Structure 1
């Protein structure tokens, strides 16, 4: 039995980014963060930090850029989640987040399940969830930006054992305040940490947020560049899930033990109400 405290240092980099090739800037920021905060074991970047929006930026993976991130992780001895990048797979494009371990190995690639349609044109949704193990610490799940608007995605990661959810996002619109409420609610309902890192500058409006397993805001960033460093406490996740949020609700146990029938998840289920909403397209 592991008797060591399961604390783990993370740095979420809310950077001022342009819609351009940001590779050298990102590598520099990652290195400087580790040098200044040597206790940090994982660095997380925002969605599409590498080049910004545009399926035309898609590359087959592994790419030269992904390999550069792998070298940085290996040289610094850190876990690295370098935001996301557009991945070309044949004629299909995915919005993909690599997970790189401290030896510089890509141990997983998560493809965003819900592209921001109809705006994220030319991008196909993935169909696989990603949860990975940080040895002697805990399990981490990955989701990307718009995925969070579908509570089933967060619940699936927690069902698979995620204690911490890494959530790169790229929001430059007025609904950021609504996203903050979703992050807080999702962390509370699923009794987990959520690391929601947005970009600043031309790519986003900032306001990254780190939320703990009782819905507590550990840090909410400004709209400017911030290097957000903090520790997650995986023992606290276990305690909250076992004893209840603030000693009260134990929703994961109730969900586990429930026998309710959800008609929307039956194979071939059709909702007449949702069918009436019409085509998914940009409003005119």
Structure 2
């Protein structure tokens, strides 16, 4: 067994002022109550909230403070994410990984901003994989990224065993997101730590799932700190022998006999996607999608002849009803 204790922190997040001191306060309580914790994960945009007008340059004072906390407590710390303002004026949604020595050892910018709602937020293009010595391999993904399984496919193909997934979901699709988190754990045979915030930071209901899609912890709608000890030998065993000795999905994908032409933007396979219209916020009374042409026609399908009614028979050249 390779035990490792990871704690998620689900907390109230304010939109109009810094939450850094509040995060540090909860970190102090967490480490006093659960001193065996080795890694701590906060929710998406926890430090400064969901408004990009509070975007920060990197490095910044808040990150330096979190680095001091990680060093003082001797923990791996992922302080959610924050909007980063780059030197060229772009805004990214960026998370960092701080090791127990207080060093930033990795960073990740969200690949799929929640468009069209997150207008003006640029997308990251680099994956984040990092190793905890003598423990295992970890990967970062932020909120909407998990809706695109290619992101987790890339990470787990590089050996990631624990997916750290800070989210800010305060919308009606939280149930769907929780289903995706469970499916991700099973599809890619990894742990998933899905940590949401409260108030301006989300509706809570954080989730921890093991590689067999078993829910290890489910928060409700109040503040919560949940240290969970994971066993990465379980990941390795399941990837070798399959879920409950059954599906060996990573090896089956490795040994596949098909290449997916949809990933070739010039293949034409994604012609249907081009019929869906622009990526934009729905408007009042919008009829988009209701009067569009049949996509089968757009893609060149041949109309099949209509079959006779079920109660109509054709026998020896005569027609008539049954």
Distance in 2, matches of 1:140 and 1:45, equals 16
> Radius of gyration: which is bigger?
2
Of residues 258-267 and 84-93 in structure 1, the stretch that sits farther from structure 2 once superposed is 258-267
SS of the aligned residue for 2:228 comes to strand
Distance in 2, matches of 1:29 and 1:163, equals 27
Say whether 1:42 aligns with 2:36.
Answer: no
Q: How does 1:234-253 map to 2 (within 5 A)?
A: 234-253=232-251
The alpha carbon displacement at 1:267 in A equals: 4.9
The alpha carbon displacement at 1:234 in A equals: 0.4
Give the direction of change, closer, same or farther, for the CA distance of 1:207–1:213 in structure 2 (3 Å limit): same
Distance in 2, matches of 1:77 and 1:213, equals 27
2:318 is aligned to none
Say whether 1:10 aligns with 2:6.
Answer: yes
Assess if the C-alpha contact under 8 Å between 1:212 and 1:218 holds in 2: yes
Distance in 2, matches of 1:53 and 1:232, equals 30
Quote the RMSD (CA, aligned, Å). 0.9
Select which of 96, 99, 115 maps to 1:101: 99
Assess if the C-alpha contact under 8 Å between 2:49 and 2:200 holds in 1: no
SS of the aligned residue for 1:97 comes to strand
Say whether 1:281 aligns with 2:280.
Answer: yes
SS of the aligned residue for 1:246 comes to helix
Of residues 248-257 and 14-23 in structure 1, the stretch that sits farther from structure 2 once superposed is 14-23
Say whether 1:28 aligns with 2:25.
Answer: yes
Q: More relative contact order in 1 or in 2 (CA 8 Å, sep 6+)?
A: 1
**Cα deviation code 1:116-174 (max 9, x no counterpart):** 01111211000010010000000000000000000000111101110000000000011
Say whether 1:73 aligns with 2:67.
Answer: no
Q: How does 1:112-261 map to 2 (within 5 A)?
A: 112-261=110-259
Calculate the TM-score normalised by the size of structure 1. Answer: 0.97
SS of the aligned residue for 1:196 comes to strand
Q: In the comparison of the two structures, how many residue pairs are matched? A: 280
Distance in 2, matches of 1:96 and 1:164, equals 19
Assess if the C-alpha contact under 8 Å between 2:44 and 2:196 holds in 1: yes
The alpha carbon displacement at 1:259 in A equals: 2.5
Assess if the C-alpha contact under 8 Å between 2:43 and 2:201 holds in 1: no
**Cα deviation code 1:247-281 (max 9, x no counterpart):** 10000000011121201112534422001111101
Distance in 1, matches of 2:139 and 2:200, equals 28
The alpha carbon displacement at 1:94 in A equals: 0.5
Distance in 2, matches of 1:18 and 1:54, equals 10
Assess if the C-alpha contact under 8 Å between 2:129 and 2:160 holds in 1: yes
Select which of 44, 57, 61 maps to 1:60: 57
Distance in 2, matches of 1:195 and 1:46, equals 10
